[in-house]
């Protein structure tokens, strides 16, 4: 599937979600503060990201954004590299003066 087919499919799914919610394009436009033309364009797969997210919120589908692009955690290699730089033992070189009290 190429990019054009993917955005067309996304637009089709957006339209179907609107129809399943029994909402008109005008109703979504009013809920989002967008023009009806922006809704039509989104349903054709021609929408800005902000428009797409606004429509998803109006349809109550924003919770599905985590499935759309999952949150990526650090890889095991990245974690290992970051832990290498952490201090693993005390050097014992820093000594407090007898009169000095700890800051804690």
Domains of the chain: 3-68 (1.10.260.40)
**Mean pLDDT computed over every residue of the chain:** 86
Mean pLDDT calculated for residue range 34-56: 96
Mean pLDDT calculated for residue range 1-26: 95
Check if the beta carbon of residue 29 is closer than 8 Å to that of residue 38. yes
Confidence bin at 91 (pLDDT 50/70/90)? confident
* Residue of 6, 8, 43 lying closest to 51 (CA atoms): 43
* Cα 2 from Cα 9, distance rounded (Å): 11
Confidence bin at 65 (pLDDT 50/70/90)? confident
pLDDT of amino acid 87: 59
Chain-centroid distance of CA 11 in Å reads 19
pTM of the model: 0.67
Higher pLDDT, 100 or 54: 54
Q: 102 pLDDT exceeds 60?
A: no
Check if the beta carbon of residue 29 is closer than 8 Å to that of residue 39. yes
Using CA atoms, how far residue 73 sits from 5, 64, 68, 69, 82, in Å, is 30, 18, 16, 12, 14
Mean pLDDT calculated for residue range 60-77: 82
């Amino acid at each position: 599937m190429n990019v054009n087919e993917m955005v067309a499919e996304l637009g089709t799914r957006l339209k179907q979600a609107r129809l399943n919610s029994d909402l008109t394009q005008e109703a979504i436009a009013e809920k989002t503060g967008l023009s009806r033309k922006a809704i039509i364009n989104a349903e054709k797969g021609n929408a800005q990201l902000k428009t797409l997210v606004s429509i998803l919120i109006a349809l109550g589908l924003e919770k599905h954004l985590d499935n759309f692009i999952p949150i990526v955690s650090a890889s095991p290699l990245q974690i290992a590299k970051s832990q290498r730089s952490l201090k693993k033992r005390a050097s014992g070189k820093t000594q407090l003066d007898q009169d000095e009290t700890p800051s804690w």
